[in-house]
Amino acid sequence: MRDDFKEKLEETISKAIEDGSYNLDVAQGIKLGFRACYINAQIVEEERFDFEAAYKHFPRKEGKQMGIKKCKARIKSRKSYESLITAIKNYAEASVGKDLEYVYKFSNFMENWEDWIELPEEHDTSVNIRKLLEE
Protein backbone atom coordinates (compact mmCIF):
# COMPACT_ATOMS: atom_id res chain seq x y z
CA MET A 1 0.00 0.00 0.00
CA ARG A 2 1.33 3.44 -0.83
CA ASP A 3 2.60 5.40 2.17
CA ASP A 4 0.70 8.58 1.28
CA PHE A 5 -2.56 6.64 1.02
CA LYS A 6 -1.88 4.82 4.27
CA GLU A 7 -1.17 8.13 6.02
CA LYS A 8 -4.35 9.73 4.65
CA LEU A 9 -6.38 6.66 5.61
CA GLU A 10 -5.00 6.69 9.17
CA GLU A 11 -5.88 10.38 9.45
CA THR A 12 -9.40 9.83 8.11
CA ILE A 13 -10.06 6.88 10.39
CA SER A 14 -8.74 8.72 13.44
CA LYS A 15 -10.99 11.68 12.68
CA ALA A 16 -13.98 9.38 12.14
CA ILE A 17 -13.38 7.61 15.43
CA GLU A 18 -13.01 10.89 17.31
CA ASP A 19 -16.24 12.44 16.02
CA GLY A 20 -18.22 9.20 15.89
CA SER A 21 -18.97 9.34 12.17
CA TYR A 22 -17.85 5.83 11.33
CA ASN A 23 -19.75 2.65 10.79
CA LEU A 24 -19.12 -0.94 11.82
CA ASP A 25 -17.21 -1.71 8.59
CA VAL A 26 -14.60 0.88 9.55
CA ALA A 27 -14.17 -0.61 13.02
CA GLN A 28 -13.83 -4.10 11.53
CA GLY A 29 -11.48 -2.77 8.86
CA ILE A 30 -9.22 -1.31 11.52
CA LYS A 31 -8.96 -4.75 13.12
CA LEU A 32 -8.24 -6.44 9.78
CA GLY A 33 -5.73 -3.88 8.59
CA PHE A 34 -5.77 -0.95 6.23
CA ARG A 35 -6.23 -2.97 3.05
CA ALA A 36 -9.49 -4.45 4.34
CA CYS A 37 -10.47 -1.05 5.60
CA TYR A 38 -9.83 0.45 2.18
CA ILE A 39 -11.98 -2.20 0.52
CA ASN A 40 -14.83 -2.42 3.04
CA ALA A 41 -15.02 0.90 4.83
CA GLN A 42 -17.45 3.61 4.06
CA ILE A 43 -16.95 6.67 6.22
CA VAL A 44 -20.42 7.87 7.03
CA GLU A 45 -20.76 11.60 7.25
CA GLU A 46 -23.98 11.65 9.22
CA GLU A 47 -25.61 14.95 9.74
CA ARG A 48 -26.65 15.44 13.32
CA PHE A 49 -30.20 16.59 14.02
CA ASP A 50 -31.62 18.04 17.22
CA PHE A 51 -34.53 15.68 17.86
CA GLU A 52 -34.83 17.02 21.41
CA ALA A 53 -35.68 20.44 19.95
CA ALA A 54 -38.23 18.83 17.61
CA TYR A 55 -39.83 17.02 20.55
CA LYS A 56 -40.25 20.30 22.46
CA HIS A 57 -42.85 21.37 19.86
CA PHE A 58 -44.86 18.16 20.26
CA PRO A 59 -48.17 18.64 22.12
CA ARG A 60 -48.19 15.46 24.22
CA LYS A 61 -45.13 14.84 26.35
CA GLU A 62 -45.19 11.04 26.29
CA GLY A 63 -43.33 8.48 24.18
CA LYS A 64 -40.21 10.62 23.96
CA GLN A 65 -37.50 7.95 24.18
CA MET A 66 -39.04 5.59 21.62
CA GLY A 67 -40.06 8.52 19.41
CA ILE A 68 -36.53 9.91 19.28
CA LYS A 69 -35.22 6.41 18.55
CA LYS A 70 -37.63 6.26 15.58
CA CYS A 71 -36.48 9.74 14.49
CA LYS A 72 -32.88 8.57 14.41
CA ALA A 73 -33.84 5.53 12.34
CA ARG A 74 -35.98 7.43 9.83
CA ILE A 75 -34.62 10.96 9.49
CA LYS A 76 -31.39 10.93 7.49
CA SER A 77 -31.36 14.21 5.58
CA ARG A 78 -31.77 17.91 6.30
CA LYS A 79 -34.88 17.97 4.09
CA SER A 80 -36.49 15.12 6.08
CA TYR A 81 -35.62 16.85 9.35
CA GLU A 82 -37.22 20.10 8.20
CA SER A 83 -40.28 18.16 7.03
CA LEU A 84 -40.47 16.51 10.46
CA ILE A 85 -40.43 19.92 12.17
CA THR A 86 -43.21 21.10 9.84
CA ALA A 87 -45.23 17.94 10.52
CA ILE A 88 -44.85 18.34 14.29
CA LYS A 89 -45.94 21.97 14.17
CA ASN A 90 -48.91 21.09 11.96
CA TYR A 91 -49.93 18.28 14.30
CA ALA A 92 -49.56 20.55 17.32
CA GLU A 93 -51.80 23.15 15.65
CA ALA A 94 -54.39 20.51 14.78
CA SER A 95 -54.32 19.18 18.34
CA VAL A 96 -55.16 22.48 20.03
CA GLY A 97 -58.23 22.05 22.19
CA LYS A 98 -58.26 18.25 21.99
CA ASP A 99 -58.29 16.12 25.11
CA LEU A 100 -54.77 14.67 25.47
CA GLU A 101 -56.06 11.11 25.39
CA TYR A 102 -56.93 11.75 21.72
CA VAL A 103 -53.50 13.16 20.87
CA TYR A 104 -50.76 10.80 19.72
CA LYS A 105 -47.81 10.03 21.94
CA PHE A 106 -44.61 11.07 20.19
CA SER A 107 -43.64 7.45 19.52
CA ASN A 108 -47.00 6.79 17.82
CA PHE A 109 -46.82 10.03 15.85
CA MET A 110 -43.50 8.90 14.36
CA GLU A 111 -45.31 5.99 12.68
CA ASN A 112 -47.25 8.37 10.40
CA TRP A 113 -45.50 11.72 10.75
CA GLU A 114 -45.31 12.17 6.97
CA ASP A 115 -49.12 12.46 6.87
CA TRP A 116 -48.77 15.77 8.72
CA ILE A 117 -46.24 17.52 6.46
CA GLU A 118 -49.21 19.14 4.74
CA LEU A 119 -51.83 20.32 7.21
CA PRO A 120 -55.21 18.79 6.31
CA GLU A 121 -57.69 21.48 5.25
CA GLU A 122 -60.03 20.86 8.19
CA HIS A 123 -57.17 21.75 10.55
CA ASP A 124 -55.76 24.69 8.57
CA THR A 125 -56.85 27.78 10.52
CA SER A 126 -56.28 30.14 7.58
CA VAL A 127 -58.73 28.12 5.45
CA ASN A 128 -61.25 27.98 8.31
CA ILE A 129 -61.03 31.74 8.85
CA ARG A 130 -61.60 32.37 5.14
CA LYS A 131 -64.67 30.11 5.23
CA LEU A 132 -66.06 32.00 8.23
CA LEU A 133 -65.53 35.34 6.50
CA GLU A 134 -67.28 34.12 3.36
CA GLU A 135 -70.40 33.07 5.34
List pLDDT tens digits, range 70-111: 999 999 899 999 999 999 999 999 999 999 999 999 999 999
Cβ proximity of 37 and 26 under 8 Å: yes
Does the pTM surpass 0.75? The reply is no
Q: What is the pLDDT of residue 101?
A: 92
Q: Is the pLDDT of residue 25 over 60?
A: no
Chain length of the chain: 135
Rounded to 5 degrees, what angle do the CA atoms 12, 39, 48 make?
45
**What are the extents of the domains in the chain?**
3-40, 51-134
Q: What is the pLDDT of residues 28-53, one digit of tens each?
A: 555 445 544 444 444 444 568 999 99
- Assign 5 a pLDDT band (cuts: 50, 70, 90): low
3-state secondary structure of 90: helix
DSSP-H helix ranges across the chain = 3-19, 24-32, 34-40, 51-56, 64-74, 78-95, 106-109, 125-134
